[in-house]
Amino acid sequence: MQGPDLRLSVVVITYNRRDELDLALHRLAELPEQPPVVVVDNGSEDGTAELVLRKHPQVKLIRPGRNLGAVGRNLGVAAVDTPYVAFCDDDTFYDPGALTLAANLLDDHPTLAVVTATILVEPGGQLDPICVEMAQSPLERPAGLPGHPLLSFLAGVSVVRREAFLAAGGFSHRLWLGGEEELLASDLARYGWSMSYVPEVVAHHQASKLRDAHLRRRHGIRNTLWFTWLRRPLRSAIVRTVRHLSRVPRDRTSLYAVADALRGLPWVLRERHVVPEHVERGYRLLDEMQLTSKARRYVS
């Protein structure tokens, strides 16, 4: 496709990663798709917003004034009007042409809500182990659907159908950040949308050194437990909880995560909405595969 791809926008959330964001925005500006870019600055205190205004005036900047976590993406999606939105973190970037390929797939498959890219880990360009897991998906593939069917996705390297994202309510403010995709994906599946890992769509991830790995693990464990009790039937919720907790390290971070999850139990039970049986069948298949996954390492 010649010239800008008018089907796409890019939404980036960031927090106190000024220099990494600067590089990410330069990379986005070099893409042949020339997508409009929205940056949601989640309350940075390192001059991030000032850098965007000074060096990237073509970028739309949203400043909610506090750290909204993944909910910042909701603000970005609301600020654009393109049918498709590519999420890109400040430590990820897409190959030239990847966004157009994703948009073509979304055009061709009206029930497809999410295209998740291959992740090459930088430096070095090695395949992320989670891609191996996604490629081995045991889920039944709907007729004609590209790639490998999913029941969750990786937000920082995914292109979403804006209509579906909005209908499902976007990311939950309860989960904040860390495995936040699973709950949204569950609601997309409930409403009949499909999600796919498409290896031909390629993105790169050079993990930021400016991250609190312990806090991310704490939130990831908590959010997994919350999702499990929000959406899984009782027996499955009990089994997955036992299996999940048996795999996490026996340390202070895990203890805090479980305490966080227990504090949220009242609202979880109030908002519990079990998935339909056809979705639950998929989760049971994935549970068995994830037990032996080498991509899920609960360490920090």
Residues 176 and 270 reside in one and the same domain: no
**CATH code (residue 139):** 3.90.550.10
- 3, part of any domain: no
pLDDT reported for residue 180: 96
Quick one: average pLDDT of 30-39? 98
Q: What is the 8-class DSSP label of residue 175?
A: T
How large is the angle between the packed helices 181-190 and 213-231, nearest 10 degrees?
30
pLDDT reported for residue 211: 84
Mark which of 205, 236, 257 sits at the end of a domain. 205
Residue pLDDT, tens place only, 207-254: 998 888 899 999 999 999 999 999 999 999 999 999 999 999 999 999
pTM of the model: 0.95
Quick one: average pLDDT of 258-282? 98
Which amino acid is present at 254? S
Provide the domain limits for residue 235. 213-291
pLDDT reported for residue 256: 98
Mark which of 145, 177, 205 sits at the end of a domain. 205
Q: Is the model's pLDDT at 292 over the cut of 90?
A: no
Do residues 248 and 221 lie in contact, with contact meaning Cβ atoms separated by under 8 Å?
yes
Residue pLDDT, tens place only, 136-161: 999 998 889 999 999 999 999 999 99
pLDDT reported for residue 3: 79
Burial 241-263 (b: 16+ CB within 10 A, else e): beebbeebeeeebbebbbebbee
- 1, part of any domain: no
Residues 201 and 227 reside in one and the same domain: no
pLDDT reported for residue 294: 65
More confidently predicted of 299 and 223 = 223
Which amino acid is present at 63? R
Burial 119-131 (b: 16+ CB within 10 A, else e): bbeeeeeeebebb
Residues 235 and 108 reside in one and the same domain: no
Which residues share a beta bridge with 195? 114
- Please give the tally of structural domains in the chain: 2
Mark which of 178, 205, 232 sits at the end of a domain. 205
Chain-wide mean pLDDT for the chain? 95
**Residues whose CB falls within 8 Å of the CB of residue 221, separated by 6 or more in sequence, listed in order:** 244, 248, 253, 254, 257, 258, 261, 298
Residues 271 and 172 reside in one and the same domain: no
